[in-house]
Amino acid sequence: MEQYTTMEGDTADLIAYRRYGVTHGATEAILRANPGLAAAGTKLPEGMTINLPAWSVKKELKTVRIWS
């Protein structure tokens, strides 16, 4: 697990996007790895150290039939 020190204006979503390239799923992984982080508010305080979990985008292919 990697550690990250927040900068002015950081949000969990922004950190997720910078680190993993997406927010969906990645933001949730960051919040799970840092219990209580959501209580810090939307904009995280500068200088806070948080854990960035090993996480990757899982690409799922679904077959969709538009006609039966």
Rounded CA separation 62/17 (Å): 24
Rounded CA separation 40/43 (Å): 8
Locate the domains of the chain by residue range.
2-52
Instruction: Give me the pLDDT at residue 28, please.
Output: 95
Instruction: Give me the pLDDT at residue 66, please.
Output: 83
Per residue of the chain (68 residues), give pLDDT as tens. 899 999 999 999 999 999 999 999 999 999 999 999 999 999 999 999 999 999 887 755 567 788 86
Instruction: Give me the pLDDT at residue 60, please.
Output: 53
CATH architecture label of 2-52: Roll (3.10)
- The whole-model pTM stands at 0.81
Q: Are 6 and 50 in contact, with CB atoms under 8 Å apart?
A: yes
Instruction: Give me the pLDDT at residue 64, please.
Output: 77
